[in-house]
Structure 1
């Protein structure tokens, strides 16, 4: 049975769309990629992981998903990778600037080299990929859809991840700038702001750190870690034509975390 035949009635239809997502081999990126393919998209995952590491992360690349090793902080890498996607699949419709790092330390102990490394991926890498994608659409006189991954902490202080929170505030500022400057060219830009997701470092901390689990439990009004699928669903919505009248918006899907502090 084909992927298309497996789609449930009422599901978002991404058939025919070519989507690029950075950070695609990460814990959350893998789930997003799989869901977008399930909805009919042709997806190319960019990541710094090797092809073997990506194969391990995905288990097996599903039909409709391609992988490219790419450092999004390097313009030449991004230019070449986007060109390869266009040569193989035709014009790109959606670019998801999803790649990001999180690093935990109290502010007074935060090492500047770690700070620079985080900002290099979260801010510079996001800007480079969005800029190169927009430049291609402008040159080709095509409409485009940029999606940025932010976080609920872009506006809510959370202990020990202050540089990460600052980077996500910067991501939203970049998104709004792209949206404002490129709307007349038919290029849209929006962000998704997830909460405390059951993947990666958050899940590890929840399972292994009693103090973190206590604090996080208080911060989530809906009372449980955010299901990975809820992020994938929101990303699919922003990739789809259902979001066609949205630009410059932050789609907050966080279980109420942004209501923190709880009373």
Structure 2
């Protein structure tokens, strides 16, 4: 069985994130990491491998599209236990929207070799679009199961539980499939020292758009269907207001403050 896990390199949410002059997110001048939501997809792929009758016959490949630093996301997936990595890096990709991103991912998946499962997180922690898995399934011409909270496999059959606000669905499918998983699938494992050392010997391929046969004119900010026209820096936090209850009027002062902010 071949499993490809799509992972994304995102700016650290705790860092001072900024936009470039063209409205794109600065992904070079800020610390980045493997999107937390994609860690769940890596974890589920590894669990499928471990539960297989012959784990050695299951290969998990981590696929990432991004700048040079995005290799760190692939490396984290390898440290967790993935077998191989693929990093698609090309300056022309910068600023790509969901459509272009799904195109590059689809062509990379095809070049890897038609997998039994393509796994994704439910969304990226920077874009939070949740649409790339569906677009990827369409481009690969395979069925999709999205927002799965529990995944079970038996042979080429996949059974997934999908939770919504009002109901829980159980969906079945036959591989090949694209599956996206939620953060309810269980905590992702931390890389062990053994896993970190083993990752250094695992193969990682770096591909450009030319390697995938994708024309540069089909990706990038110039052909994106959405763009950021203007940005404003987040204002500094204002000093809080302290309410003192020295003469028994504290409760009224607090009530007046909450009412002025329309909290009550």
Question: TM-score normalized by structure 1?
Answer: 0.36
Larger Rg: 2
Q: Which has the higher helix share?
A: 1
